[in-house]
């Protein structure tokens, strides 16, 4: 039984954020999950988990977390479009799908990337 998969959305719904943070920075990245083919021994990425973290009342807060099968701009667009509003600052790496989606969804916030320059600005 997948109790968490079945009941977590219902239990969490009243508590989930509806808007991106209105102050501070939104930190974004993804984490790939790999699986090994038992026959060949090769590894492949099965899916990635997109994550957005910010702060609320001076405390870290997980704003959004979702699994996707690719790191494409359309997947990032879906992730970013799930909440309303726009954060004043986005901090991320130079992943092209992510930075292009940030530029399209949040045209006005400042953006800081890991390399020190940002493809979105």
Give, for all 121 residues of the chain, the pLDDT tens digit: 677 778 887 888 888 899 999 888 899 999 999 999 889 999 999 999 999 999 888 889 999 999 999 989 999 999 999 999 999 889 988 888 888 888 888 876 556 565 554 544 4
Q: What is the pLDDT of residue 9?
A: 79
Structure tokens at 44: 């492949």
Q: Looking at residue 118, what is its pLDDT?
A: 53
Query: CA torsion 119→34→77→114, rounded to 10°?
Result: -20
Domains and their CATH numbers in the chain? 3-113 (3.30.420)
What pLDDT shows up at residue 11? 86
pLDDT of residue 21: 92
The pTM (predicted TM-score) of the whole model is: 0.79
Pair of tokens at residue 16: 């989930």
pLDDT at site 120 = 43
pLDDT at 119: 46
Q: What is the pLDDT of residue 115?
A: 52
What is the distance between the alpha carbons of residues 18 and 85, in angstroms, rounded to a whole number? 9
Helix/strand/coil (H, E, C) string of the chain?
CCHHHHHHHHHHHHHCCCECCCCCEEEEEEEEEEEECCCCCCEEEEEEEEEEEEEECCEEEEEEEEEECCCCHHHHHHHHHCCECCCCEEEECCCHHHHHHHHHHCCCCEEEECCCCCCCC
């Amino acid at each position: 039984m997948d109790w968490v998969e079945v009941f977590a959305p219902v239990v969490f719904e009243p508590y989930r954020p509806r808007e991106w943070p209105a102050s501070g920075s939104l930190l974004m990245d993804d984490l790939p999950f790999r699986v090994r083919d038992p026959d060949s021994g090769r590894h492949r990425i099965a899916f990635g988990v997109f994550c957005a973290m910010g702060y609320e009342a001076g405390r870290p807060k997980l704003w959004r977390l979702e699994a996707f099968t690719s790191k494409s701009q359309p997947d990032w667009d879906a992730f970013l479009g799930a909440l309303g509003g726009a954060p004043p600052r986005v901090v991320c790496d130079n992943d092209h799908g992510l930075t292009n989606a940030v530029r399209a969804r949040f045209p006005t916030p400042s953006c800081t990337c890991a390399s020190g320059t940002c493809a979105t600005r």
